Structure 1
Amino acid sequence: METKQFVTTMDAILTRIEKARLGVSGHHIVKIVAASKSATPQMIEAMYNIGQRCFGENKIQDMSEKVHALAHLPLEWHFIGRLQTNKINQLIDLDPFLMHSLSSLELAQELDKRLHVKNKQMNALLQINSAYEEQKAGVLPEEALEIYEQISLTCKNIQLKGVMSIGAHSEDTQLIQKSFETTHTLFESLQSKGAKYCSMGMSNDFELAIACGANMIRLGSILFK
Structure 2
Amino acid sequence: MNKLAATKNLDEIITKVEGARLRISEHHIVKIIGVSKYSTADDVKTLYEAGQRAFGENKVQDLKEKSETLDDLPIEWHFIGTLQKNKINNLIDLNPTLVHSLDSLDLALELNKKLEAKNKKLSALLQINSAYEETKSGVLPENAVEIYKQIIELCPNIILKGVMSIGAHVEDEKVIRDSFKTTKKIYDELVPFGAKYCSMGMSSDFELAIASGSNMIRVGSSLFKE
TM-score range, shorter chain: over 0.9
Amino acid at match of 2:121: Q
Gaps of 5+ in 1: none
2:103 touches 2:126 (CA, 8 Å); kept in 1?
yes
SS at match of 2:162: strand
Spell out structure 1 runs of 4+ moving beyond 4 A. Answer: none
Q: Give, in whole Å, the separation in 2 of the partners of 1:12 and 1:91.
A: 32
1:12-161 alignment, distance < 5 Å: 12-161=12-161
Amino acid at match of 2:69: A
CA positional deviation for 1:211 = 0.2
Q: Give, in whole Å, the separation in 1 of the partners of 2:92 and 2:166.
A: 24
Q: How many residues align?
A: 225
Matched, 1:175 2:175: yes
Q: Give, in whole Å, the separation in 2 of the partners of 1:80 and 1:30.
A: 17
Q: Give, in whole Å, the separation in 1 of the partners of 2:43 and 2:221.
A: 13
Amino acid at match of 2:220: G
Deviations for 1:101-134, whole angstroms, at most 9, x for unmatched residues? 0000000000000000000000000000000011
Deviations for 1:163-202, whole angstroms, at most 9, x for unmatched residues? 0000001001010000000000000110011100000000
Q: Give, in whole Å, the separation in 2 of the partners of 1:10 and 1:113.
A: 39
CA positional deviation for 1:51 = 1.2
What is the aligned partner in structure 2 of residue 216 from structure 1?
216
2:10 touches 2:52 (CA, 8 Å); kept in 1?
no
Amino acid at match of 1:90: N
Amino acid at match of 1:55: F
TM-score normalised by the chain length of structure 1: 0.99
Q: Alpha carbon RMSD of aligned pairs, Å?
A: 0.7
Q: Give, in whole Å, the separation in 2 of the partners of 1:209 and 1:3.
A: 28
Q: Give, in whole Å, the separation in 1 of the partners of 2:101 and 2:74.
A: 23
2:102 touches 2:126 (CA, 8 Å); kept in 1?
yes
CA positional deviation for 1:39 = 1.2
CA positional deviation for 1:219 = 0.2
CA positional deviation for 1:43 = 0.7
Q: Give, in whole Å, the separation in 1 of the partners of 2:169 and 2:9.
A: 25
CA positional deviation for 1:221 = 0.6
Gaps of 5+ in 2: none
2:35 touches 2:57 (CA, 8 Å); kept in 1?
yes
Matched, 1:163 2:163: yes
SS at match of 2:222: coil
Identity %: 61
TM-score normalised by the chain length of structure 2: 0.98
CA positional deviation for 1:50 = 1.3
Q: Give, in whole Å, the separation in 2 of the partners of 1:144 and 1:9.
A: 35
Q: Give, in whole Å, the separation in 2 of the partners of 1:130 and 1:143.
A: 11
CA positional deviation for 1:12 = 1.3
2:184 touches 2:214 (CA, 8 Å); kept in 1?
yes
